Amino acid sequence: MRRRGRALLAVAALLATLMPAVSATAGAPARPARPAREAMLYRLTAQGHFASGARVRGHRFRINDVREIIVETQWWYLTSDRTERVKLITQEGHVYQEWENTLAPAPGRRGRTQAAGTTRIPVAGTSITRHALTGRWRLEVWLDGDSQPRAVRPLSLTR
């Protein structure tokens, strides 16, 4: 293992020596190859959906007013279908509910792929209103079987 590591270092050093020379010959500045982009959660928003049809973006909602909370995600640089998991965590740290969405990447601008997920979290008439489950909750967004969430956002539920 140690010997193989040394060999790799030697190759890397050789490439580092040759590359500027090659670039100079072509008459263009050196431009190192970009590393492969990792799946990236670009945007995470929460909107309260009211009986009037109005949608209000925010992170604090009154449980007796809002009908549902719509969580939208936007991902970049997915190379294949992935699964996002949206977890709603109570103030006490328990998982209230978990939702799964399939993310299907599509070509986007500047060569990156884009995928979007939408999760509708019912509030009216659910255990949240029936048992007045209020407090400082949080949203967690996970990707596939990751051991850590990709994003955590506060979500306050009040009366």
Q: Is 1 in the site for other proteins (CB under 8 A)?
A: no
The Cα-based distances of 16 to 2, 3, 10, 105, 133 in angstroms read: 21, 20, 10, 35, 60
How many residues comprise the chain? 159
Binding pattern to other proteins, positions 85-104, x when CB under 8 A? -----x-xxxxxxx------
Cα–Cα distance, 151 to 86 (Å, whole number): 10
- Write out the binding residues for other proteins, residues 17-76 only, by CB under 8 A: 49, 51-53, 64, 67-68
Cα–Cα distance, 157 to 138 (Å, whole number): 10
Binding pattern to other proteins, positions 129-158, x when CB under 8 A? xxxxxx----------xxx-----------
For other proteins, the binding residues (CB under 8 A) are: 49, 51-53, 64, 67-68, 90, 92-98, 120, 122, 124-127, 129-134, 145-147, 159
